[in-house]
Chain A
Amino acid sequence: MIPMAITGFGVVSPIGIGHDEFMAAVNDAEGSKRRAFTSKSTVLPPETFPDARVAEALNFDAVKHLGDKGLRNFDRLTKMMIVAGKLALEDAGVKKNGEYIALKPEQVGIISSTAYGSLEAITELNLVAELEDPRYINPARFPNTVINAAAGYVSIWENLRAPNVTIVDGNCGALDAILSCETHLAHGRADAFLIGGGEALSEPLYRAFRMLGVVCEGDATWEPGDSHSNGMRLGEGAAYMLVERMDEALARGARLRGVLAGYGTAFDAPESEAVLVHPSIDAVTRAVRAAVKDAGIQPSDVDAVVASASGIERFDAAELMGLSRGLREDVLIAAPKAMLGETFGAHGALGMACALAWLEGAEPSPVLSGRARDRINHVVVTTTGYYGNVSAAVLRRAS
């Protein structure tokens, strides 16, 4: 992998908006977990879902960041992604007060992940078509049914004219954005990319996973990575890193928040032809080994892991086994989903944000296993898909 610098960071999450809030929240994982899941949802009707426990970005107010013009047809995901992208560009010193102060619009692109980004718009318009008449479908809302619409709006809002790429790889998309980013930077198709993604809470999304029986509700035990956990709790958020070629970032005097050092991915089909959803130990092992090799380090060099563990026991168990095989048995593994909830296509992005926090000195938490080292130089982030696909990345401290 070519050396890639992370020079900016923007986030909208239930535990904080923007770099400083998010870093402080990660450093206080227990408090963040408590705060994230104690508030009532404004997205899920309490009369329909009285036992819902979700991590919702309740403090998110798009108008505060974007003004009140031009937001009418944006859905919740689009607003979160635009704000996260805006914050990342500002944090990187690329834009200020809406104007480019470094780089040019033609030099900056976006590579964005979402797993279910268009679900809310699809179901909303389907409802109109089914209950009223397809003639009443709002043409201004129709573009939101297209999965890449949210990222398209980010480019329009921030005037990003280099390639705009949306990736839908289930839970793995935001880490798969790293491969796309490296590919396009190496070919000179852009000089910088916002990479990351977003996922918004919505009623249909919650309902679907609830019907699948994998959502932990009420006061049932919920501990990602624990064998007694009763499923997952959903969250939401968006995060982007501004990523540049290392030489170019240094040449423009950019501050380095971290280094994208390695990436790996693997797919492993289930044994049974009747099975579609399945966890894979093998895919986890191969993906993390590939990422570590790509980073040019040894498994023993990995100081901590941002795990994908969400509370679905069989997936968490497979991931932990795969990590111990691919790295080492006593590597420190933490599961930030305990404070962020399951954010599907955004997890890789929020996971990288947690990794940056750890590299900046925050204490990894909540810890599932392993021993902490005095100094964290390399963090592995994993994303495990529901169909046997797994991706992993290595983030390194900027020297």
Chain B
Amino acid sequence: MVQTRRVFVTGMGVVSSLGLGRRAFWQALLAGKSGASKIELFDPGSIGRDIACEIKGFRARDFLTAAEARRAGRCSQFALAAARMAVEDAGIMPKDLRGERTAVVMGTTMGEVDVISELQSGWIHHGEDAVERPKLPRYGTTLLPLHLARAFGATGITQTLPAACAAGNYAIGFAADQIRAGRADVAITGASEIIEKLQFAGFVRLGAVAPERCQPFDKNRRGLLVGEGAGILVIESEEHAVRRGATILAEVGGYGLACDAHHITRPHPEGDGSVHAMRRAIESSGITPDDVDFVNAHGTGTDANDKVEAFVMGKVFGGRRVPLSSMKSMIGHCMGAASALEAVACVETVLTGIYPPTMGYETPDPDCAVDVVANAPREGKHDVVLNNALAFGGYDAVLAFAKPGVLPETVGSR
């Protein structure tokens, strides 16, 4: 057991297909709005699918300086915009972010993949001379946290955790670990992802993409919709937050990680790693499964994921049907950013007691015997919520959020 400090969420920022900023995002989720639309980022042509939860009308210059916009690819632009919103939401002074005591930990799946695709396209069609050399250094995925650290004057821990579709949970959990261990006082953390032609086509080729809508846990679900966005949290030690008089939104609870070691894209059929990760998140929060009020599901809308996730819920919670919901029915699967955006919603649930809906849930699936918050938001107990994520590579990551004062002092010690 390690000595720990409490960690609180004090600010959040969102770039999503449902809107910019945590309030617009949350209101759209509660209204059951869909971020799905025809793809405009590229010509989907013969790919076979043309709907995605694309962010339209994002203007980097609304949030970034001209130099920042030039230096950053679209993925980093999302991240930096969301981070600025989060910092403003936290009401934190620039002096409180400058220096070595601020960590920046970011998740993603493919980072600035559009940069390399654009450069390569130039090379393929027009030769090496057509490649814009000054753009080459912008590809580094490590730049995600560095752009943010530079913007806020942070000079300590910077890390990119490309944990595929569980990257948000990986990043927030690891950042909280660093604060608990006393290596940082505050962290800017979350994840960012963009839609890119290659990755869109890849998901279609895997047979994972639905034609029009994503219906998690529904018997007739046909797959996921690809999405994009960024969710960023400002998290702080209790001492730091209290000292500056911050408004505390929620406490970051424990988290659990595991690896299925089964298949590179498919979850373990009995959710071995996922069960372990969820139990660890509960245990390391210092609570029992009976204390969990709501689960923000991974809920991709694919046959395999939803079935396994429902199975895992049964294994962890036994006969108690803990309400769960998948926002991917509205914002699509934002891959690396998915669990970061879901973390934002978890915090909103902790604050408001409202569970966001799973839209498109029409026909219960006997293989998914779970209490789905179907088609309309639901009010409920909101002391502790879990954010569940699974990912390529067999990654499983679960993160807990709680009302301040609910979790025991030992939270995060194991």
Contacts and interface: CB of A to CB of B under 8 A. Distances in A.
Interface of A: 105-106, 109-110, 115, 118-119, 122-123, 125-127, 129-131, 133-135, 137-139, 142-143, 145-149, 151-153, 155-156, 158-170, 172-173, 176, 179-180, 183-184, 186-189, 204, 207-208, 211-212, 265-269, 273-274, 276-277, 283, 286, 385-389
B177 interface: yes
Interface in B149-165: 149-150, 153-164
6 contacts: A145-B110, A146-B109, A146-B162, A156-B262, A208-B139, A389-B142
A169 B393 CA distance: 19
A268 B146 CA distance: 9
B142 A115 contact: yes
Contacts of B207: 139
A211 B202 contact: no
A333 to B, nearest CB: 24
A175 to B, nearest CB: 11
Range for the number of chain B residues in contact with chain A: 35 or more
B379 interface: no
Contacts, number: 232
B264 A149 contact: yes
Contacts of A173: 142
A184 B176 CA distance: 12
Interface of B: 1-2, 45-48, 65, 67, 71, 100, 109-111, 113, 116-117, 120-121, 124-125, 128, 131, 133, 136-143, 146, 149-150, 153-164, 170, 174, 177-178, 181, 183, 197-199, 201-207, 256-265, 272-273, 276, 280, 284, 391-395, 412-414
Contacts of B142: 115, 168-170, 172-173, 385, 387, 389
Contact of A163 (B141, B199, B257, B392): B257
Contact of A167 (B124, B161, B181): B161
Contact of B150 (A161, A169, A269): A269
B264 A161 contact: no
Nearest to B200: A134
Contact of B414 (A123, A134, A188): A188
B164 A388 contact: no
Given A152-B395, A163-B257, A130 B2 contact: no
B66 to A, nearest CB: 9
Contact of B174 (A159, A162, A183, A273): A183
A127 B124 contact: yes
Nearest to A294: B183
Contact of B198 (A125, A164, A385): A125
A211 B110 CA distance: 23
